[in-house]
Amino acid sequence: MTETAVQTAERKLYIESYGCAMNFSDSEIIASIMGEHGFATTQDEFEADVIFLNTCAIRDNAEQRIRERLKHLRSNKKQNRDLIIGVLGCMAERLKDKLLEEEKLVDVVAGPDSYRELPKLVAEVDEGGRAINVLLSREETYGDLNPVRLNSNGVTAFISIMRGCDNMCSFCVVPFTRGRERSRDPESILREARELAAAGYKEITLLGQNVDSYLWFGGGPKKEFKNLTEEEKASSVDFADLLEMTALAVPELRIRYSTSHPRDITEKVVHTMAKYKNVCNYIHLPAQSGNSRVLEVMNRNYTREWYMDKVSMIRNILPDCGISCDIIAGFCTETEEEHKDTLSLMAWSRFDFSYMYKYSERPGTPAAKKLTDDVHEDVKGRRLQEIIALQNEVSKAKNQEYIGKVVEVLVEAESKRSTEEWMGRNDQNVVTVFPKEHYQKGDLVKVLVESASTTTLRGKAVV
């Protein structure tokens, strides 16, 4: 979660963002829309006339955090009776009217495709009512807006290239809270990238729930390449094309992207990464499980062998590519042997790092409707700890392989442990710390790695 606020002489807006990078990007869109209607950001929630919680619904603990936060905001409401509190994003779409009924201090509820309506919704509350809009859209991409860079370090920034998801993984609520996939006009993406470069940013991350399914043709976004006419195919832009266009448009920027889907990532994308030096050698490739039967129950639309083939393809084209993963422990019907398959996949793949979770049933998903959450919580917890222990072992070993090597690091901020050190990430997205010396935030610095832990490289700058 991060905190942001917008400040004007008239009214002040405070935004808290929870969850994925897409939510943080959305908060910048929200600030832009509200800024056009007389609101600007503040970092003091007690000064705010409007407080928005931009929420996540991926896991139950994320929703519980929001509920606890709403309880704490009661004191703000007592001090400022005119304070307007809104719950936005995925949790807002999922719970809809319940938020207005159960959480008496919630005045505005708005889903991810309703942010243009926020000024109108706030006006409705000003007139004494409560306001809700959680309608999903087949067209909305917010591609015409200029996001307000909130809590920016001035070095790195997100660019949303598409919205929604069509994959329908059985455990995931995203297709129901963010709607169907639609891609953004590539020219608007390139415009935003150029503006960030002109503003002095050094790195951008292209965002989408599944960037590999990005597709734009002359007449607009269209999901299935096979359904395009020959004329449309000739003018279409897929993700590899977009990546190349961006690399050429802003050669001075480092470029990352997230997230890839094992079913859809192509050799064309990886070859494009290899072709352009400013595209970072890092891919986030969620596996979720290492067992083919469990993957089928998850509706991931690939097998263990397919996933391993994709990892091999990446390693063959980009031998030094960093690969990270998502893993779910204890999904419905997972047996002990199937859990061991996940461990063996992790050991074989040697992920640089992973995001690892116990399965959390989300209401409204296919899994909640059709499957039984039958793995005991104690078993889930033990399996998760085994997954974490293995990943920590692999991460430490992989990071130690950097010792004695020189890596290029983009300086992002001061180290959390020392004001005398800089922190940044290397090409493979590994956090690297080194003494400040004369270097400045935003510099690309060559660092000789002298030591390594599970999560961090440490070294010194070299000429």
Q: Which residues pair with 158 in a beta bridge?
A: 205
Instruction: Give how far Cα 72 sits from Cα of 11, 161, 268, Å.
Output: 22, 35, 50
Contact 263, 302 (CB under 8 A): yes
| 254: Cα within 13 Å, side-chain hemisphere | 23
141 or 57, greater pLDDT: 141
* DSSP three-state, residue 263: coil
Q: Which residue has better confidence, 414 or 222?
A: 414
CATH of 2-133 given 2.102.10.10, 3.40.50.20, 3.40.50.12160, 1.10.3720.10: 3.40.50.12160
Rounded-to-10 torsion of CA 49, 50, 51, 55 = 180
Question: For the chain, first and last CA: distance in Å?
Answer: 38
Q: What is the mean predicted confidence (pLDDT) over 157-174?
A: 94
Q: What is the mean pLDDT of residues 219-235?
A: 70
Q: How confident is the model at residue 2 (pLDDT cuts 50, 70, 90)?
A: low
Band (pLDDT 50/70/90 cuts) for residue 222 is low
Question: Within 13 Å of residue 335, how many CA atoms lie on the same side as its CB?
Answer: 5
Residue ranges of the domains in the chain?
2-133, 152-280, 312-396, 406-461
Q: Report the helix count and the strand count for the chain, using DSSP H and E.
A: 16, 23
**Is the pLDDT assigned to residue 368 strictly greater than 90?**
yes
CATH class of residue range 312-396: alpha beta
Question: Contact at 8 Å (CB) between 125 and 82?
Answer: no
Question: Has residue 239 got a pLDDT over 70?
Answer: yes
Q: For 374-378, what is the mean pLDDT?
A: 98
Q: Which of 12, 82, 9 is nearest to 40 (CA)?
A: 12
Summarize the confidence of residues 318-328 as an average pLDDT. 98
- 406-461 topology per CATH: OB fold (Dihydrolipoamide Acetyltransferase, E2P) (2.40.50)
User: Do residues 170 and 370 lie in contact, with contact meaning Cβ atoms separated by under 8 Å?
Assistant: yes
- What is the widest separation between alpha-carbon atoms in the chain? 65
CB 353 within 8 A of CB 455: yes
In this structure, how many other beta carbons lie within 10 angstroms of the beta carbon of residue 58?
21
The percentage of the chain sitting over the pLDDT mark of 70, rounded to a whole number, equals: 96
CA–CA distances in Å: residue 312 to residues 14, 102, 321, 324, 348: 46, 50, 11, 14, 10
Domain 152-280: top CATH class: alpha beta
Look over the chain and give the mean of its residue pLDDT values, rounded to a whole number: 92
SS3 of residue 176 by DSSP: helix
Q: What is the pTM of this model?
A: 0.91
Q: Whose structure tokens read 């609101």?
A: 39
pLDDT, average across residues 6-23? 81
Asked if 2-133 and 152-280 have one fold, the answer is no
